[in-house]
Amino acid sequence: MQMRELNAVILLAIASFWCSTARAEGNCPPGFYPIGGQGVQGCAPIPGASAGASVDVPAAPAGEWMTRWGAIAESGSSTLVGTSMGQSSKQDAERQAITRCQAEGARDCRVSISYYNQCVAYVVPSSGRGKGSITSAVDKPTAITLAKEKCTDAQGGACAVAYSECSLPEFHNF
């Protein structure tokens, strides 16, 4: 090999070594430096080095999701019903449903269902004979479909939606 070729090979080797991918010390990304020791290591941003590095920091939440409750109370001796929705506790939802059922004139109202952060459907036989159904689900259409599947009309008719509502979580800003 001639001297000229040998010099070219050496320069090429040096250039390829220098052009290889640069890694920050301690395998930290650009704009960061290694911290820690004794087997514990992390990376911290280099002060004033924000020009070359972008760091995606998630925004702190500006509020919180609040659970919302609903309930349905029925009278055992009549077809009277009381409902509630959007309440902050299960007890409040049940109390309001029973109060509304009693306001219709029933004295033996009992909670049939309590639900939170979802929807409910109350379906009854169209003929007035048979077995109704109350079901909760993630949304109204699903709750209605599931309740209708469980409802039976003794005279072969369809079941009708007597009540459907949602008590979905609410976001409150700080």
Q: Where are the domains of the chain?
A: 67-169
Residues 6+ apart with CB under 8 A from 61: 174
* H or E segment to which residue 54 belongs: none
pLDDT for the residue 161? 97
In whole angstroms, give the CA distance from residue 168 to residue 68. 6
- Mean pLDDT in order along the chain per 10 residues (174 residues): 61 53 61 73 74 64 93 91 97 98 94 98 94 96 97 93 96 92
> What's the rounded Cα separation, in Å, for the pair 100 and 44?
60
CB atoms within 10 A of CB 123: 26
pLDDT of residue 49: 64
The pLDDT value given to residue 30 = 80
| Whole-number pLDDT of residue 41 | 75
Which residues lie closer than 8 Å to 165 by C-beta, 6 or more apart? 70, 83, 85, 119, 120, 140
CA distance 84 to 73: 9
Contact assessment for residue 167 and residue 68, using Cβ atoms and an 8 Å cutoff = yes
pTM above 0.75, yes or no: no
Give the count of beta carbons closer than 10 Å to the beta carbon of residue 163: 14
